[in-house]
Structure 1
Amino acid sequence: MVARAALRIGLTLAAALAAAPVHAQLAKELFGAATRPSAQAAEPIGSYAKGCAAGNVALAETGDAWQAMRLSRNRNWGHPQLVDLVEDLGRHMDAFGWEGVYVGDLSQPRGGPMTSGHRSHQIGLDADVWLYPVNDVTLSRREREEISAVSMRRAEGAYVNRNWTRGQQELVKRAAEDPRTARIFIFPGAKVQMCEDATGDRAWLRKVRPWYGHHYHMHVRISCPRGAAACVDQAPPPPGDGCAEARQWQQNILNPPPPDPNAKPSPPRRELRMADLPQQCASVLSAPSR
């Protein structure tokens, strides 16, 4: 039965590839149709928001200290180093006093643009980890579809609310201290609060960057693994702990600057087509499944 389902999916993807020149097709439709990773060595290809991923591996749906959420999305795939980091986070939080972590989207089986949601998460190096204080890692598949994440913000993200505890800071800090981590995105109020509360070595704060949303989860991004020649790293964060920048974000929320009367409206974002992605991504799509 599984083999038949895989065959149907393969035929669907093959039909899509044959329907029009590959370079002209919407990349999200092709990568969204792939339900299994390619049988290739693990390799991130391109940049975080314009690329794909060969040889992704699955974060186990349930582990000793984590659970993958929203399983219907089939986005619990990533580079082995990302999966290992997420598992390490879960075990650390289990030792800290939580039962582990709930994990949202990583990447699709072959990476690439997603059919909905993220613009990044395309090369298997991004993971959303819930800020939820986990006390149960035995949720059913149905419960993982229905449970709601918990917001940590108030005042539109300028401050944390009462749900924010030392546990959330420990989670963010642990992820930031991992040498594989390049950046962590979280709402501005959380970064400001951590700037106020951090003691001792504050170097980890540099990786924690304020960004829109991200009050239900933190977005962990790891660097291109060594030897991944086709992977494009993001420029490193500016020097320093980034706290002044976060406080400026906070002030801009509380006292929004007047709009620039000369600002031109941003053009609508164009959907990525296969021609926009690195050439290797066509090979990732056509490779046999693992």
Structure 2
Amino acid sequence: MDLNTVLDVRDARRREPWRPGDAWLGGGTYLFSEPQPHIRRLVDLSRMGWPPLSWQPDGSLDIAATCTITELSRFARTLPTTAAPLFEQCCRAFLASFKIWNMATVGGNLCNGLPAGPMVSLTAGLDGTVFLQGQDGATRRMPVTDFVLGAGVKNLREGELLRSVRLPPNALDSRTAFRQASLYGLGRSGALVIGACDPADGSLAVTVSAATTRPFRFWFALPPTAAELRAAIDGTVRPDEWYDDIHGLPAWRRHMALRLAEEIRRELTTEDHR
């Protein structure tokens, strides 16, 4: 779609003052999908030259905001960690064509903050933290679960940029489980639940997304019982935080999230895997 209110496109490598009507341009798959009457100038990140994926000295993995879904998928196929299959599972949750995969970025999916955003699910499920840069040079780090505050609501200040998201080494070494539910065979996620069991200390994290307005990560030092897991979810997610749209009613989303979470608990806490 043409954005007929855009008057200028600026290369992000050229620093200029941020002004009303500016917007960051990553892959543009969302920006160009519908009218954006408030946007007057696009600040293009495509030439920043950030490495899509990079290992850190402590074994954590940095994913650049400009990393495309295709780049992430290809990288994960050779990822020497136990959690590697989860990357492809979340990439496939896009249900998008190869054209979208080649343009859509991890940062864009996070910054949209939509409940069904699979990169939100992936990074929240692996205890990711976002790295934010402000126009004044100030930087912030926070968990993905604190970055996405609601359906389309993000913890972003005016002109602030999501630079990257970091996944810690213990999460990458975790055994993972993935469950997704949709009203249709090839429909948008109505509930997406990820489990991650830390082999070092036996802790279990269960992350609920798509069914809720924002991602919720539940961490247990010891594997919970079915009743403990259900109580943790129902005691944390408020009734108005179960998402409601054409892709699923709140009652159905809650039911599926609880069911899938229990399936994951059983899968990751069986005697054979302890």
**Structure 1-normalised TM-score?**
0.29
Higher relative contact order (CA 8 A, sep 6+): 1
Larger of the two Rg values belongs to structure = 1
Answer 1 or 2: which has greater helix percent. Answer: 1
**Structure 2-normalised TM-score?**
0.31
Answer 1 or 2: which has greater strand percent. Answer: 2
